[in-house]
């Protein structure tokens, strides 16, 4: 089993959104800057997240995205499922045709593992992740870097590089 980029990026973007929710709507450009995820890829992911009622978009100046409900009510498995990410550890897509069209000896083992992984991620909310000190440290570092880059950009734009 391998969680692909799509699932990882969706979880990362949702966690970023949750961490910055108190500041109002969060732009995808800000998430892109902080997380190093392309803006066009985020647009695709957020389209799916919106269809699954995990986020809502706010139009106009100062617009962006907000969580559709509290971060304690959004679970990682919901995010992964919303972007059609498979957590299947079987070789057959859980169809049971893994060995020459028939079920292999270990099919049920891998199928049970898939269920356990989904269950594990179903028990972790965005709020749970936000409470982790190591996540807070990383978020603070990203915010500092983004703030410093914004200051440097303003200096260059004003013609004052010092």
Examine the domain organization and report whether 137 and 127 are in the same domain.
no
Asked whether residue 143 falls in the same domain as residue 109, the answer is no
Domain identity same for 151 and 141:
yes
Q: Tell me: do 86 and 156 sit in the same domain.
A: no
Q: Which residue has the higher pLDDT, 161 or 126?
A: 126
pLDDT computed for residue 8 by the predictor: 93
Number of domains, the chain: 2
Residue 19: predicted pLDDT: 97
Quick one: pLDDT at residue 4?
A: 80
Q: Are residues 37 and 92 in the same domain?
A: yes
Helix (H) / strand (E) element for 55: namely strand 55-58
**In terms of residue numbers, what domain contains 162?**
132-162
CA distance 62 to 68: 17
Q: Answer yes or no: do 42 and 69 share one domain.
A: yes
CA distance 2 to 147: 34
> Residue 30 corresponds to which tokens in the numbers above?
């800000």
Residue of 42, 27, 10 whose CA lies nearest to 126:
10
Domain identity same for 70 and 138: no
β-partners of residue 75 are: 125
Q: Verify that 70 and 137 share a domain, yes or no.
A: no
Residue 65's φ and ψ, nearest 5 degrees, are -125, 150
Residue 58, both tokens:
């706010």
Same domain, 43 and 94: yes
157 in the same domain as 106: no
Hey, what are 97's tokens? 């045709």
Neighbours of 82 (CB within 10 A): 21
Residue 1 predicted with pLDDT over 60: no
pLDDT in tens, 79-105: 999 998 778 888 888 888 988 888 999
Would you state the structure tokens that stand for residue 66, as one six-digit string?
Answer: 């907000």
Question: In terms of domains, do 126 and 144 share one?
Answer: no
Place of tokens 């995205």: 65
**Residue 124, both tokens:** 């972790």
90 HSE (CA, 13 A, CB side): 21
Domain match, 10 and 64 both? yes
């Amino acid at each position: 089993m391998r969680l692909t980029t799509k699932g990882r990026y969706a979880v990362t973007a949702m966690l970023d959104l949750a961490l910055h929710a108190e500041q109002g709507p969060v732009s995808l450009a800000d998430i892109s800057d902080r997380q190093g995820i392309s803006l066009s890829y985020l647009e695709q992911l957020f389209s799916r997240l919106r269809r699954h009622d995990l986020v809502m978009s706010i139009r106009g100046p100062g617009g962006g995205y907000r969580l559709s409900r509290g971060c304690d009510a959004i679970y990682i498995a919901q995010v992964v499922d919303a972007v059609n990410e498979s957590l299947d550890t079987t070789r057959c897509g859980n169809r049971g045709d893994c060995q020459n069209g028939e079920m292999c000896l270990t099919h049920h083992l891998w199928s049970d593992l898939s269920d356990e992984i989904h269950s594990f991620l179903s028990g972790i909310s965005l709020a749970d992740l936000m409470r982790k000190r190591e996540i807070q440290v990383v978020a603070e570092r990203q915010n500092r870097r983004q703030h410093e880059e914004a200051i440097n950009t303003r200096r260059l734009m004003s013609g004052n590089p010092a």
